């Protein structure tokens, strides 16, 4: 039965939340275990839907997965893995984008891979052309069918010289997970260098891989014959951290995020400070709060690392509805990541979307008719509304808008938030939010 979340707004969120491993690292680290000839151990694993989906996918490929959700410890034993039946894989069609990253490891271990229709958030077209192109360059043969994509490596996989058209996180991970056991040397230019990519590289290095990252976004991988297992503690989820930080600002609250790591949040923290948010870093986490002064507007552009992440944009736009003046946000990573502003407008926000690049530099979407720039005027008093959650980050943004709004909001589609926010209902309770979940 579908769930309904009733939110009574107007209370500052105050207290402490514990954020564990990154949603954008943990599932990939789990896939990496498939490359090993021994078991791997991953710590700091959050209990989120994406971890559950990848656990199921690994299990249907014969990987033994032992999880302790309380401690966040996961053991992955790939020693008896095998090719799963297409029908079993197909059961996960539309659930997540991670299946595409099984290609390299499955081809190395079993000569072939099958990729169902992919899922993930609806924030743009989200094609997989970069992934398929790099796999072909390694020597893979790609056969598309109406149910999915069959990929095989009849002559093995060989290192290649590759350049990505855009520093895609997923395509960079695809190259890493394929190149480590490919024959010879792979050189990837224009690679993504997000902290989650560095964490995946650290895992692969522990397993026996030889990977060098150069300052010009080039990654060189020397293929090896065999990889062992790894023992690793996943980096903290910086997107969840930024979401709670934004929630503190929007609700005029004060939230300590245990586990938050300053180094991975530099661009976010600079922006947070410019808007008027306060933060204090200690050895165990970061405290975020609204200092009581008027919030300042700003001009912001999302970008690949080390820029301001696209995943931080949506929660922060809610804070900008409370800033005194006009803010401009230019989304340059996804062409369609402002759909969530419709609900904010119904709640009273003043937001206009534009097709032009309103940031300081033109992006790839400027000539292509996408509403990818937003002009936000504030401050406005948000009013409670009926909202259907569109995607993970957009959904969390709606939630914090509802928590700050006057009156009651009724939020549906809330299950989407479980994909990336561990125990978010418990955390909201700990922060003093007035929220009630019921069946519809
Ligand atoms: N792109 C292509 N072709 C491809 C792959 C990507 O055109 O084959 C384009 C995308 O359409 C997008 C851009 O390249 O416009 C960047 O996409 P990227 O491949 O970097 O994103 P991703 O790997 O699919 C991950 C995270 C996203 C996060 C982005 C950017 C995971 C599971 N997802 O997606 O996280 O926004 O990197 O950092 O790691 C989220 O957490 O809410 C989320 C969407």
Domain boundary assignment for the chain: 3-19+236-439, 26-233
For ligand 1, whether the C-beta of 410 sits within 6 Å is: no
Query: For residue 120, which of 180, 169, 177 has the smallest C-alpha distance?
Result: 169
What's the mean per-residue pLDDT of the chain? 95
Span from the CA of 169 to the centroid of ligand 1 (angstroms): 6
Report the share of the chain in percent with pLDDT over 90: 88
31 is in an annotated binding site: no
pLDDT of residue 122: 62
Span from the CA of 165 to the centroid of ligand 1 (angstroms): 13
Span from the CA of 120 to the centroid of ligand 1 (angstroms): 10
Tokens 């190259």 belong to residue: 175
Q: Say which residues have a Cβ less than 8 Å from residue 291's Cβ, sequence separation at least 6.
A: 276, 277, 278
- CATH homologous superfamily of 3-19+236-439 equals Enolpyruvate transferase domain (3.65.10.10)
For ligand 1, whether the C-beta of 340 sits within 6 Å is: no
Query: What are the tens digits of pLDDT across the range 383-404?
Result: 999 999 989 999 999 999 999 9
Query: For residue 28, which of 224, 169, 183 has the smallest C-alpha distance?
Result: 169
23 is in an annotated binding site: yes
DSSP state letters, 114-181:
EEE---S--SS----HHHHHHHHHTT-EEEEETTEEEEE-TT--B--EEE-SS--HHHHHHHHHHHTT
- Judge if 3-19+236-439 and 26-233 fold alike in CATH terms: yes
311 is in an annotated binding site: yes
pLDDT at 95 over 80: no
For ligand 1, whether the C-beta of 121 sits within 6 Å is: yes
- The rounded distance, in Å, linking the Cα atoms of 357 and 9 is 34
Do residues 383 and 348 touch, judged by C-beta distance below 8 A?
yes
- For ligand 1, atom 26, the nearest C-alpha belongs to 24
Query: What are the tens digits of pLDDT across the range 118-133?
Result: 766 665 667 899 999 9
Atom index in ligand 1 nearest the CA of residue 194 equals 38
Span from the CA of 348 to the centroid of ligand 1 (angstroms): 30
Concerning whether 121 is annotated as a catalytic residue, the answer is: yes
Q: What are the CA-CA distances from residue 61 to residues 52, 177, 235, 338 (Å)?
A: 14, 17, 26, 37
What average pLDDT score do residues 266-294 get? 97
- For ligand 1, atom 44, the nearest C-alpha belongs to 121
Tokens 């290649």 belong to residue: 160
Architecture category of domain 26-233 in CATH: Alpha-beta prism (3.65)
- The rounded distance, in Å, linking the Cα atoms of 15 and 287 is 10
């Amino acid at each position: 039965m579908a769930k309904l979340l009733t939110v009574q707004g107007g209370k500052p969120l105050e207290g402490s939340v514990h954020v564990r491993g990154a949603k954008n690292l943990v599932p990939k680290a789990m896939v990496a275990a498939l490359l090993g000839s021994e078991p791997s151990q991953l710590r700091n694993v959050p209990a989120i839907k994406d971890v559950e989906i990848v656990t199921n996918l690994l299990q249907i490929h014969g990987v033994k997965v032992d999880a302790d959700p309380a401690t966040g410890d996961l053991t992955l034993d790939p020693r008896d893995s095998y090719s799963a039946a297409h029908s079993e894989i197909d059961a996960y069609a539309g659930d997540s984008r991670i299946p595409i990253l099984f290609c390299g490891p499955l081809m190395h271990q079993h000569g072939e891979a099958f990729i169902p229709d992919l899922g993930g958030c609806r924030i743009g077209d989200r094609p997989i052309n970069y992934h398929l192109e790099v796999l072909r360059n390694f020597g893979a043969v790609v056969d598309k069918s109406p149910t999915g994509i069959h990929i095989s490596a009849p002559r093995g996989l060989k290192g290649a010289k590759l350049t990505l058209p855009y520093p895609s996180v997923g395509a960079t991970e695809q190259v890493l997970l394929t190149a480590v056991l490919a024959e010879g040397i792979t050189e990837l230019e224009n690679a993504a260098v997000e902290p989650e990519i560095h964490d995946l590289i650290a895992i692969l290095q522990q397993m026996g891989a030889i990977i060098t990252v150069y300052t010009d976004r080039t990654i060189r991988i020397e293929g090896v014959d065999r990889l062992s297992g790894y023992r690793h503690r996943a980096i903290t989820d910086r997107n969840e951290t930024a979401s709670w930080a934004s929630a503190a600002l929007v609700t005029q609250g004060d939230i300590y995020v245990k586990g938050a790591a300053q180094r991975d949040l530099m661009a976010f923290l600079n922006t947070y400070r410019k808007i008027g948010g306060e933060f204090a870093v200690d050895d165990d986490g970061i405290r975020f709060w609204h200092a009581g002064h008027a919030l300042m507007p700003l001009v912001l552009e999302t970008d690949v690392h080390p820029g301001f992440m696209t995943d931080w944009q949506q929660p922060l736009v809610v804070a900008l509805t409370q800033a005194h003046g006009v803010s401009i946000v230019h989304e340059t990573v996804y062409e369609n990541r402002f759909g969530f502003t419709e609900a904010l407008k119904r709640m009273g926000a003043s937001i206009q979307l534009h097709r032009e690049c309103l940031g300081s530099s033109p992006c790839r979407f400027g000539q292509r008719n996408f509403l990818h720039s937003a002009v936000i005027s504030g401050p406005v008093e948000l009013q409670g509304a009926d909202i259907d959650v569109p995607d993970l980050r957009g959904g969390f943004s709606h939630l914090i808008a509802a928590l700050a709004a006057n009156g009651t909001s009724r939020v549906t589609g809330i299950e989407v938030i479980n994909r990336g926010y561990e125990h978010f209902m418990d955390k909201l309770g700990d922060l003093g939010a007035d929220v009630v979940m019921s069946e519809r």
